[in-house]
Structure 1
Amino acid sequence: MVKRMIIYVVICSFALLIGCSKEPTKQIETNTIGNPTAQEVLRMDSNANIFMYRETVYNAGVPWVDELKLTKDIQVTEINHQSNNGKDFNNGTANKLEIGTKIFRVKERNDVLIAETGNGDIRFYQLVEG
C-alpha cells in the first residue's frame, strides 16, 4: 500500500512538472509523405529556383552541390513550361529557367542535374524524402 502511494505521488509530481513548464513546446508539423512537391517548396521559399523532371522537384542554390567537381554528361530534358504556381508544375516546368533551357545529367552523381543557361551553368539538387 505504501509502495503504491509513493509511485502515485511520483507519477503525479512528474505530470505536474511537465504540465507546468514555462513555455509550451513549439512543433512544426509537416504533412508531406513522399517527395516534396513544387507547391510545398515554393510555399516554404517563394524565391526558390526549381524545375520538375521525372515527377521530382530539383532545387538550385545548394552550397555544397555548387562546390562539387562535376562533369556534364548527356542532355536528359528541356524546360517547356514556366510557372510560379506550384500547382501547375509537371515534368519540364520551371519557375525561373527560360523555356528551351537544356538540362543535363552529370557523370559523378544521380541526384544532381545541370541547366545550361546564357549566364552559365546552374546546378540543381534532387529533392527527395529521406
Structure 2
Amino acid sequence: MNKFYLVLFLIFLLMGCSENGNPTPRELLGEEDVDIFLMNEVVYAKASDIDWVTESEYTIGEEVAEISKQQNRAIGFNNGTANILPVGTKIYETGQGFVIAIVGEKEVPYIALLEG
C-alpha cells in the first residue's frame, strides 16, 4: 500500500507541472505502476486502490470511449490511447466521479486526474 501512496504523491506533484494544471501522459508514463488512458484530453488513472471508489455503489451507464491504441511513449499518446488497457477496451460512465473499463469480465475503475 505504501507504493500506492508514493505513486499518488508523485501524480499530485506532477499535476502542478503542466500548462493547464492537469497532468499529461508525458509527466506520468515514466512512473512505476502507472496505468492510464487519455479521454477528452484528460488523463485517467486506475483507481482500484482508492477506498472511496471501491466502496462506491454504481451503475454502469453509457459507453463514453474505447481504447484504440496502446503504447508507453508520450509522443502520439492521443485520446483513446492507454499504456496498459488493451485495444478494444470499452469505457463506461458511472455518474459517481469515476469511469469503469471492462477488461474481460472484470470492471476496473479509473478516475480523472484534474487539478483543483
Both structures adopt the same fold (TM-score exceeding 0.5) = yes
Question: Residues of 2 paired with 1:38 and 1:66: CA distance?
Answer: 24
Corresponding letter in the other structure for 2:98:
V
How far 1:119 sits from its partner (Å)? 4.7
Q: Counting helix residues as a fraction of each chain, which structure ranks higher?
A: 1
Is 2:50 the partner of 1:50? no
The percent identity for this pair of structures is: 37
Look at both structures and tell me which one has the larger radius of gyration over its CA atoms.
Answer: 1
Q: 1:32 aligned to 6, 18, 34, which one?
A: 18
Aligned-residue RMSD, C-alpha? 1.9
Runs of 4+ in 1 over 2 A off after TM superposition: 28-33
Unaligned runs of 5+ in 1: 1-27
Unaligned runs of 5+ in 2: 1-12
Paired residues in the alignment total: 100
Deviations 1:78-122 (A, max 9, x none): 000001112321110001111000110013x2x311001115010
SS in 2 for 1:58: strand
Corresponding letter in the other structure for 2:111:
Y
Question: Residues of 2 paired with 1:101 and 1:114: CA distance?
Answer: 10
In structure 2, the partner of 1:18 is none
Question: Residues of 1 paired with 2:24 and 2:68: CA distance?
Answer: 18
TM-score between both structures, scaled by the size of structure 1: 0.69
Corresponding letter in the other structure for 2:46:
A
Q: Which has the higher contact order (CA 8 A, sep 6+)?
A: 2
TM-score between both structures, scaled by the size of structure 2: 0.77
Is 2:16 the partner of 1:66? no
In structure 2, the partner of 1:104 is 92
